[in-house]
């Protein structure tokens, strides 16, 4: 019960947490790595660590595996839904909770240094989010990148 209550509180907090607040907290915390060079290198490192965490779930933990082949799409596809059925992310298995925790943590650091970069460049993180959201919404199913 206590755990469920805390999860509920955290979800409620997340709903209330806006990008501006996150960006402000990052700005307050980031004292050591204040140079643009430090931020760029930390952002790059965070990206590498996300990739490494996913790879390690395959090569170290083994909860997931990769089975990749060239995508085979029949010529007679008539709808996006039909096309979706032929898409494959090449991942097999189910991510264990340990790997999920590590990947979430690494993604968090990626967000942290993205916000730090926005602070240094005087860009509002929420504007970045909204701009990308509008682009994705406008493109809809044609956004296949």
- Residues near Zn ion (CB under 5 A) are 57, 61, 63, 96, 99
Nearest approach in angstroms of CB 90 to Zn ion is 17
Least Å from the CB of residue 97 to Zn ion: 8
- For residues 62 and 91, is the Cβ–Cβ distance under 8 A? no
Residue closer to Zn ion (CB basis): 14 or 94: 94
Among candidates 111, 97, 100, which has minimal Cα distance to 26? 111
Would you say 19 or 61 has its CB closer to Zn ion? Answer: 61
Which phi and psi angles does 65 have, rounded to 5°?
-135, 165
Which alpha helices (H) appear in 57-96, and where do they start and end?
Answer: 80-86
Q: CB of 127: closest distance to Zn ion in angstroms? A: 36
Q: Which is nearer to Zn ion, 98 or 131 (CB)?
A: 98
Question: 130: part of which helix (H) or strand (E)?
Answer: helix 125-139
């Amino acid at each position: 019960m206590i755990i469920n209550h805390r999860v509920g509180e955290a979800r409620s907090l997340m709903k209330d947490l806006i990008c501006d607040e996150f960006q402000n907290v990052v700005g307050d915390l980031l004292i050591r790595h204040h140079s643009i060079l430090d931020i760029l290198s930390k952002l790059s490192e965070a990206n590498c660590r996300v990739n490494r965490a996913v790879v390690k779930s395959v090569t170290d933990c083994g909860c997931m595996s990769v089975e990749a082949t060239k995508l085979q799409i029949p010529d007679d596809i008539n709808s996006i839904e039909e096309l979706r059925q032929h898409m494959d992310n090449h991942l097999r298995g189910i991510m264990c909770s340990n790997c999920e925790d590590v990947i979430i943590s690494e993604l968090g650091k990626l967000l942290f240094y993205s916000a730090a970069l926005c602070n240094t460049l005087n860009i509002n993180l929420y504007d970045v989010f909204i701009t990308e959201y509008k682009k994705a919404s406008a493109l809809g199913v044609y956004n296949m990148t």
